[in-house]
Amino acid sequence: MSETPMNTLQYRFDGPEDAPVLILGASLGTTWHMWDRQIPELTRHWRVFRFDMPGHGGAPAHPCGSVGELAGRLLATLDELGVRRFGYAGCAFGGA
């Protein structure tokens, strides 16, 4: 787990470090734990990156004005980590 500055997101990784990255976006009102049941299967082939929306779980409540701004924070977080390629899946707002 990592707590990051306002322009990035709180996140966690699961799975092999050398596997391709799959990002899972949670729905509003939930946390990255909504994906817990899928993690054992997904981490067989992926390095799974999950993040909490601002103000959800233990994430600081730095307001996010739009889906575009949230996507920008996600990309800033991935840039900091050196992640350049990834797959993405999400539920509800996390899928937007």
Task: For residue 67, count other CB atoms closer than 10 A to its CB.
Answer: 10
- Domain that includes residue 53, residue range: 11-95
What whole-number distance in Å separates Cα of residue 81 and Cα of residue 22? Answer: 14
Q: Which residue blocks in the chain are alpha helix, DSSP H?
A: 39-42, 67-81
Residues contacting residue 72 through CB under 8 Å, at least 6 positions apart: 7
Instruction: Please name the residue that has the structure tokens 């701004």.
Output: 69
On whether residue 5 sits in a domain, the answer given is no
Tens-place pLDDT, residues 19-28: 999 999 887 7
Is 1 inside any structural domain? no
Whether residue 52 is contained in a domain is answered as yes
Task: Reply yes or no on whether the pLDDT at 1 is more than 60.
Answer: no
Q: Residue 2 falls within a domain, yes or no?
A: no
Instruction: Look at the chain and report how many structural domains it folds into.
Output: 1
pLDDT band at 50 (very low <50, low <70, confident <90, very high): very high
Query: Each residue of 52-84: pLDDT tens digit?
Result: 776 555 655 666 667 888 788 889 889 999 999
Angle (nearest 5°) at CA 8 between 88 and 61: 105
CATH code assigned at 30: 3.40.50.1820
